């Protein structure tokens, strides 16, 4: 979206900071360009916006909206980092932890995991109050190069969009509804699909957690040297402002 029709720009504010946006940009896109980080899990650069995790919830014009799908509007006052919003985002992240099975110390994604990193960023330091739902989902290790452990899936749908729109394959999809909604593959199991380890959907950047596992590369980068071990999630965007 950016790069074209720059002359039609307008401004609005996020937490009092003036931001320039262009027609058709979402609040999050404009914020990213200006170096203001809005927490997110289901949204990912290069993929269609989905608006499902709700971690990017901001207040705009007095209403709570998802920053990743809500178009920026001229003159609008957006609230991003208020205690109330941070608290609600933490609730959402906690919900995702409790919906699945997360044992960070033994997880291959630890240190590279966006869910875990978001918990740090949002100060999830106390014991949570939610009950654990403890699902029991089968591990799909049928494919020679890829394994799928949806016990840690946060239903962000990034793999679905990446496979459909970038790889042109459609290996993943949602099935079921409500609390039973989950990610499944286009066939009996992963080996039954045309998934390849070189697909964008399988790459390390798409799945934010440790569900889509590339075999034989686990723990090659030691914990302590991983992506979020040295900086909070979002620091790369915030650095643009300095």
Partner 1 sequence: MDNGHKTGNGVSTAICGTAPVPAEEIEAICAQFGNDKHRMLDILREVQDHYRCIAPATMDHVAASTGLTRIEVEGVASFYSFLSLAPKGRVTIRLCNDIVDRFSGVSEVACVFEEELGLKIGETSNDGAFSLEYTPCIGMCDQAPAAMVNDIVLTKLTPETARSAAQALKAGRSPEQLISERFEALTPSERALHMVDNNIRHAGEVLLGPVPEDAGLAKAATITPTQIISAIEESGLRGCGGAGFTTGRKWRFAASERAEKHFVICNADEGEPGTFKDRVLLTERPHLLIEGMTIAARAVGAREGILYLRGEYVYLRELLLQVLEERRRRGLLGKDILGVKGFDFDIRLQLGAGAYICGEEGALISSCEGLPGEPKTRPPFPVNRGYLGYPTVVNNVETFCHAARILDKGAAWFNAMGMEGSHGTKLFSVCGDCLNPGIYELPYGHTVRELLAMVGGEDAAAVQVGGPSGTMIARDSFHRKLTFDDLATGGAIIVFNGERNVLEIVEYYMSFFVHESCGYCTPCRVGNVFLQKAIQKFRKGLANPEDIDYLKDLSGTIIETSRCGLGMTSPNPVLTTLKNFPLVYSAVIKPSKDGIRDTFDIQSAIDGARKIAKRRSYIFDKDFTQ
**Binding positions for ligand FES, rule: CB under 6 A:** 40-43, 51-56, 66, 68
* H/E run at residue 183: strand 182-185
Tokens 């909604």 sit on residue: 181
Tokens 């401004």 sit on residue: 11
Q: Which lies closer to ligand SF4 via its Cβ, residue 62 or residue 178?
A: 178
Q: 158 contacts which partner out of partner 1, ligand SF4, ligand FES, none, CB within 5 to 8 A by kind?
A: ligand SF4
- Tokens standing for residue 175: 């099935």
Mutual angle of helices 114-121 and 83-99, in 10-degree steps = 150
Q: How far is the CB of 78 from partner 1 (least distance, A)?
A: 15
Please give the residues from 164 up to 223 whose contact with partner 1 meets the rule CB under 8 A. Answer: 170-181, 184-188
What counts of helices (H) and strands (E) characterise the chain? 5, 9
- Tokens standing for residue 4: 């074209």
Please give the residues from 38 up to 97 whose contact with partner 1 meets the rule CB under 8 A. Answer: 49, 51-55, 57, 64, 66, 69, 71, 87-88, 91-92, 95-96
Q: 115 contacts which partner out of partner 1, ligand FES, ligand SF4, none, CB within 5 to 8 A by kind?
A: ligand SF4
Q: How many CB atoms lie within 10 A of CB 143?
A: 19
Q: 40 contacts which partner out of ligand FES, partner 1, ligand SF4, none, CB within 5 to 8 A by kind?
A: ligand FES
Q: How far is the CB of 206 from ligand FES (least distance, A)?
A: 14
Q: 142 contacts which partner out of ligand FES, partner 1, ligand SF4, none, CB within 5 to 8 A by kind?
A: none
**Where in 43-180 does DSSP place strands (E)?**
57-60, 63-66, 77-79, 146-148, 172-175
Q: State CA 131 to chain mean position distance.
A: 23
* H/E run at residue 214: strand 212-214
Strand partners, 173: 184
Tokens 């302590």 sit on residue: 224
Q: How far is the CB of 231 from partner 1 (least distance, A)?
A: 25
Report helix, strand or coil for 72.
coil
Instruction: Summarize as ranges the residues that interact with ligand SF4 (CB under 6 A).
Output: 102-104, 107, 109-110, 113, 115-116, 152-159, 183, 206-212
Q: Which lies closer to partner 1 via its Cβ, residue 43 or residue 111?
A: 43
Q: Which lies closer to ligand FES via its Cβ, residue 68 or residue 109?
A: 68
Interface contacts to partner 1, rule CB under 8 A: 49, 51-55, 57, 64, 66, 69, 71, 87-88, 91-92, 95-96, 98-99, 129-131, 133, 155, 170-181, 184-188
């Amino acid at each position: 979206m950016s790069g074209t029709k720059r002359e039609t720009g307008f401004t609005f504010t996020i937490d009092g900071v003036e931001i320039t946006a262009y027609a058709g940009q979402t609040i999050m896109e404009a914020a990213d360009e200006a170096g203001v980080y809005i927490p997110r899990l289901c949204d990912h650069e290069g993929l269609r916006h989905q608006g499902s995790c709700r971690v990017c919830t901001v207040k705009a014009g007095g209403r709570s909206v998802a920053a990743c799908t809500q178009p920026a509007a001229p003159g609008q006052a957006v609230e991003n980092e208020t205690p109330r919003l941070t608290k609600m985002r933490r609730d959402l992240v906690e919900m995702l932890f409790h919906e699945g099975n997360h044992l960070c110390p033994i997880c291959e994604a630890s240190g590279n995991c966006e869910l875990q990193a978001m918990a740090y960023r949002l100060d999830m330091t106390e014991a949570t109050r939610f009950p654990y739902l403890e699902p029991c989902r089968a591990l799909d290790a049928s494919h020679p190069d890829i394994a799928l452990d949806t016990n840690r899936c946060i239903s962000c749908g990034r793999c679905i969009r990446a496979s459909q729109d970038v790889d042109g394959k459609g290996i993943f999809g949602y099935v079921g509804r409500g609390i039973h909604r989950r990610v499944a593959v286009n066939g009996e199991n992963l080996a039954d699909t045309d998934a390849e380890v070189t697909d964008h959907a399988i790459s390390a950047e798409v799945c934010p957690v440790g569900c889509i596992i590339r075999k034989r590369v686990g723990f090659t980068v030691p914990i302590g040297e991983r992506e979020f071990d040295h900086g909070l999630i979002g620091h790369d965007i915030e650095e643009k402002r300095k």
